[in-house]
């Protein structure tokens, strides 16, 4: 087929989306990288090329070091927690029992709630006089600070994010389990395998692709958590919830430090690439064994 | 007989267990919904001690929902609906068109262009939102509906999903239609679109949720009266000195109910289209 003949069709069908993707994904990414190499003079607005100075000064900054530590700790807790919970829920809800579909829909419900709305709802739940503390009081647990307590704030955000996400990731795993052929289960049954044996020797190995997809997707989305931090804690108390996206936003808008904000964007993208590659590497090695 | 009874009771055991989990997930939503039906002054009054009135208002009414209409939040929800509607219409046109070009039309450089689409998927939008917002401000798109919807209309995930589905449409069908004199536009509108309902529903959900759940982008680009979106207006209201939680919760319910209905309607198709999209 000749390209010439197709030109009008390509111009109409392909060009709009392609130009939009280039203009609104690729160009800003390139521009962000260029900006991360520049330093803007606050008074004159002049930009000078400073190489990797912005990256180096971030690495030396104690606040940014704290942000990296908090983000790392957060990543190490929230992702395994969400994947394991989603897996446990999918193993429960894949089985047929009375009202299983209705109850499954209720677990998915929080996915519909926009993240900013969830944060506003949970800020009321977490108040000292809120719903969670009143439940705690009624069973004899003293009032907790949750998002006001330096030691509990990060965990409180993790609980809220899991409430939002676990049902969603469960959907992908359910679809994966449903795709495993029934014959394999029948064969396992004939061989006398019980429920636990079937789960560990049949379901989990055959679920490794959807599981690795969910692990990678949760990792990416959890690196980008922003609205809950801004609405619930603003990075506090005492920097204990200072996640990277929030740090970038504050640098760009409160400090007007565009150069270092963009350097932080690339540190974030770099961290995501490292985390995701590491997962692929470990999963591949696990599969070969 | 004994075996039947045992499986029966183990079924109901699972139901009980699942019910406990579902209730835990629903508790915040039920509490918020209950409080959207009573005055904001009473939000925290029925908590200590817990009683049935904690979750069931004694005289429920819709006053908060009507009062919402007068607030920036009401305006913000209307703005959210309008921008999401536009994103959906333009997004579906652009993404299905691109997916069609990348699956049905054969031209040089197709693979290269498809790899640009995949590459764009790897750039997290939230991470580049700040540099993009600076570009948008430079070309006068700050506080415009156009500025709000533009980043959402070309969605790499939606293109990917639709293209995978389009690839499954038999080539013979297209060739026969071409021999009968149907143009490439005709092939798209009369063959590809009508055959692709599940994938179009899946792509709609992707486009819808991207726009409806957006927070950082509208926070950067839309602060005027006609561009302030629901989630931003809600967060603004919560950060005021005196918060009327009756109103805030009524707004939360409206902002959550709209996507919920769409997700429940599209759920079955969505699961189908993810299983056929190559994710698995």
Residues in B closer than 8 angstroms to A142, CB to CB, are none
Residue of B28, B33, B279 to mutate when probing chain A, most A C-beta within 10 A: B28
In this prediction, residue A155 carries a pLDDT of 93
Residue B127, number of CB atoms within 10 A of its CB:
25
Q: What is the pLDDT along chain A (289 residues), one digit of tens a residue?
A: 455 677 788 888 999 999 999 988 888 888 888 888 888 776 777 778 887 888 988 888 888 899 999 999 999 999 999 999 999 998 888 887 888 888 888 888 888 899 888 998 998 889 888 888 888 888 888 888 888 888 889 999 999 999 998 988 888 888 888 878 888 888 888 888 788 888 888 888 878 778 888 888 888 889 888 888 988 888 878 888 989 889 988 888 777 778 888 899 888 888 888 888 888 787 777 666 5
The residue among A28, A122, A178, A263 with the most chain B CBs within 10 A of its CB, best to mutate, is: A28
Per-residue pLDDT at B273: 45
Rounded Cα distance between A22 and A15, Å, is 10
Q: Say if residues A89 and A166 touch (Cβ distance below 8 Å).
A: yes
* Phi, psi of A153, deg, nearest 5: -60, -45
Measured in angstroms, the CA of B191 and the nearest CA of chain A are apart by 15
Number of Cβ within 10 Å of residue A186's Cβ equals 10
CATH superfamily of A56-288: MetI-like (1.10.3720.10)
Say if A172 is an interface residue toward chain B (CB within 8 Å): yes
Q: What is the CATH number of the domain that holds B98?
A: 1.10.3720.10
Neighbouring-strand partners of residue A47: A40
| CA distance, residue B62 to nearest chain A CA (Å) | 19
* Furthest-apart CA atoms within chain A: distance in Å: 79
In a domain, B42, yes or no: no
Facing B44 at nearest CB: one of A129, A174, A178: A129
pTM for this predicted structure? 0.83
Q: Which residues contact A243 (CB under 8 A, 6 or more apart)?
A: A67, A70, A71, A74, A225, A226, A229, A235
Contacts of A116 in chain B (CB under 8 A): 215, 231-232, 234-235
pLDDT values of chain B reduced to their tens digit, one per residue, 280 residues = 455 555 667 778 888 888 888 988 998 998 888 888 887 677 777 767 777 777 777 777 777 888 888 888 888 899 999 999 999 999 999 999 999 999 888 888 888 888 888 888 778 788 888 888 888 888 888 888 899 999 999 998 889 888 888 888 888 888 899 888 888 888 899 889 888 888 888 888 889 989 998 888 998 888 787 888 988 988 888 877 777 888 888 989 999 988 888 877 776 665 554 444 433 3
Q: Which positions in chain B touch A177 (Cβ < 8 Å)?
A: none
Q: Does B158 map to a domain? A: yes
Pairwise CB contact (< 8 Å): A269 & B123: yes
223-282 in A: which are within 8 Å (CB) of B? 223-224, 226-227, 230-231, 245, 248-249, 252-253, 258, 261-262, 265, 268-269, 272
Q: Is B137 among the domain residues?
A: yes
On whether any CB of chain B is under 8 Å from the CB of A181, the answer is no
Comparing CA positions, the residue from B226, B210, B121 lying closest to residue B163 is B121
| A62 Cα to chain B: minimum distance (Å) | 22
Asked if A105 is an interface residue toward chain B (Cβ–Cβ < 8 A), one would say yes
Write down the pLDDT at residue B277. Answer: 43
d(CA B55, CA B34): 6
C-alpha–C-alpha distance, residues B231 and B252, integer Å: 8
Smallest Cβ distance to B234: which of A120, A127, A224?
A120
Which residues of chain A neighbour B151 with C-beta distances below 8 Å?
A: 24
- What are the backbone angles phi and psi of residue A274, rounded to the nearest 5°? -65, -45
Is the four-CA dihedral A218, A223, A229, A235 of positive or negative sign?
Answer: positive
**Inter-chain CB proximity B44 and A127 less than 8 Å:** yes
Q: Report yes or no on B135 lying in a domain.
A: yes
**Distance from B275 to chain A by nearest Cα, in Å?**
7
Q: Is residue B59 part of a domain?
A: no
Residue B181 lies in a domain: yes
Q: Which of B231, B221, B279, B227 lies closest to B259, judged by CA?
A: B231
Chain B: nearest CA to A242, how far in angstroms? 16
Partners of B49 on chain A (C-beta within 8 Å) are 134, 137-138
**H-type alpha helices, chain B:** 2-36, 52-55, 63-68, 72-101, 110-122, 125-138, 145-153, 156-167, 171-179, 184-186, 193-195, 197-212, 216-221, 230-238, 245-275
* Residue owning tokens 């302030």: B228
Q: Which residues of B touch A108 (CB under 8 A)?
A: 263, 267
Chain B hits for A252, Cβ within 8 Å: 130
Instruction: Inform me whether the C-beta atom of residue A220 falls under 8 Å from chain B C-beta atoms.
Output: yes
Residue B98 lies in a domain: yes
**Which residues in chain A touch residue B113, judged by CB atoms under 8 angstroms apart?**
14, 18
Cβ atoms of residues B101 and B184 within 8 Å: no
- Residue A160, pLDDT score: 93
Determine if the peptide bond prior to A278 is cis (ω within 30°). Answer: no
Dihedral sign, Cα of residue A14, residue A20, residue A25, residue A29: positive
Give the span between the Cα atoms of A59 and B89, in whole angstroms.
45
Residue B45 with chain A: CB contacts under 8 Å: none
Closest chain A residue to the Cα of B150, Cα to Cα: A20
Both tokens assigned to A125: 């739940």
Per-residue pLDDT reduced to its tens digit, A260-281: 888 998 888 888 888 888 887 8
Contact across the interface for A114 and B106, Cβ inside 8 Å = no
**Nearest CA to CA, how far is A71 from chain B (Å)?**
15
Q: Which domain holds residue B113?
A: 64-275
Task: Output phi, psi for A38, to 5 deg.
Answer: -115, 155
Query: How far does CA A31 lie from the centroid of its chain?
Result: 25
Kindly determine whether residue A92 and residue B21, on different chains, have CB atoms separated by under 8 Å. yes
Number of domains in chain B: 1
Give A124's contacts in chain B (Cβ within 8 Å): 32, 43, 245, 248-249
DSSP SS3 for A47: strand
Instruction: Give the three-state DSSP class for A42.
Output: coil
Our CA-based measurement puts residue A44 at a distance from the nearest CA of chain B, in whole angstroms, of 18
**What is the rounded CA–CA span in Å between residue B132 and residue A230?**
20
Task: Tell me whether residue B74 is in a domain.
Answer: yes
Interface contact B12-A97, CB threshold 8 A? yes
* DSSP 8-state assignment for residue A126: T
- Specify which residues A48 forms β-bridges with: A39
Peptide bond connecting B132 to the previous residue in cis, omega within 30 degrees of 0: no
């Amino acid at each position: 087929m000749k390209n010439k003949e197709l030109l009008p069709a390509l111009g109409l069908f392909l060009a709009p989306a392609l130009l939009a993707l280039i203009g609104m994904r690729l160009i800003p990414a390139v521009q962000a990288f260029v900006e991360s190499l520049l330093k803007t003079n606050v008074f004159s607005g002049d930009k000078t090329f400073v190489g990797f100075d912005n990256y180096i000064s971030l690495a030396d900054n104690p606040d940014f070091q704290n942000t990296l530590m908090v983000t790392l700790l957060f990543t190490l807790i929230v992702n395994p927690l969400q994947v394991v919970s989603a897996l446990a829920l999918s193993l429960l809800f894949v089985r047929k029992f009375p009202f299983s579909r209705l109850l499954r829909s209720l677990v998915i419900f929080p996915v519909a709630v926009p993240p900013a709305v969830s944060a506003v709802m949970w800020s009321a739940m977490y108040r000292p006089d809120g719903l969670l503390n009143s439940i705690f009081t009624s069973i004899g647990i003293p009032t907790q600070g949750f998002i006001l307590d330096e030691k509990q704030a990060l965990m409180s955000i993790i609980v809220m994010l899991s409430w939002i996400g676990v049902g969603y990731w469960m959907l992908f795993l359910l679809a994966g389990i449903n795709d495993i052929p029934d014959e394999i289960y029948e064969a396992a049954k004939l061989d006398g395998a019980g429920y636990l044996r079937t789960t560990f020797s049949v379901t989990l190995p055959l679920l490794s692709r959807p599981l690795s997809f969910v692990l990678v997707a949760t990792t990416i989305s959890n690196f980008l958590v922003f609205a809950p931090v801004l609405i619930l804690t603003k990075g506090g108390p005492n920097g204990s919830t200072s996640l990277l996206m929030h740090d970038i936003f504050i640098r760009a808008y409160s400090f007007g430090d565009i150069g270092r904000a963009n350097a932080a964007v690339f540190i974030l993208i770099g961290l995501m690439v490292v985390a995701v590659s590491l997962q692929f590497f470990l999963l591949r090695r696990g599969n070969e064994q | 007989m004994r075996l039947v009874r045992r499986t029966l009771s183990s079924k109901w055991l699972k139901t009980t267990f699942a019910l406990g989990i579902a209730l835990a997930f629903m508790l915040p939503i039920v509490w918020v919904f209950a409080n959207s039906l009573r005055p904001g002054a009473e939000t925290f009054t029925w908590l200590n001690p817990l009683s049935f009135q904690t979750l069931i208002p004694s005289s429920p009414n819709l006053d908060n929902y009507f009062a919402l209409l007068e607030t920036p939040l009401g305006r913000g929800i209307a703005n959210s609906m309008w921008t999401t509607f536009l994103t959906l219409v333009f997004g579906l046109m652009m993404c299905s068109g691109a997916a069609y070009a990348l699956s049905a039309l054969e031209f040089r450089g197709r693979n290269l262009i498809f790899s640009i689409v995949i590459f764009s998927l790897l750039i997290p939008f939230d991470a580049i939102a700040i540099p993009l917002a600076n570009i948008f401000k430079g070309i006068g798109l700050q506080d415009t509906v156009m500025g709000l919807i533009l980043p959402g209309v070309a969605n790499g995930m939606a293109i990917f999903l639709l293209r995978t589905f389009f690839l499954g449409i038999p080539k013979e069908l297209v060739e026969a239609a071409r021999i009968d004199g149907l143009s490439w536009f005709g092939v798209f509108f009369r063959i590809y679109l009508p055959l692709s309902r599940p994938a179009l529903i899946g792509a709609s959900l992707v486009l819808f949720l991207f726009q409806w759940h957006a927070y950082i982008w509208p926070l950067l680009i839309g602060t005027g009266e006609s561009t302030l979106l629901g989630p931003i207006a809600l967060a603004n209201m919560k950060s005021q000195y005196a918060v009327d939680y009756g109103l805030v919760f009524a707004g939360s319910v409206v902002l959550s109910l709209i996507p919920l209905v769409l997700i429940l309607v599209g759920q079955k198709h969505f699961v189908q289209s993810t299983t056929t999209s190559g994710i698995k």
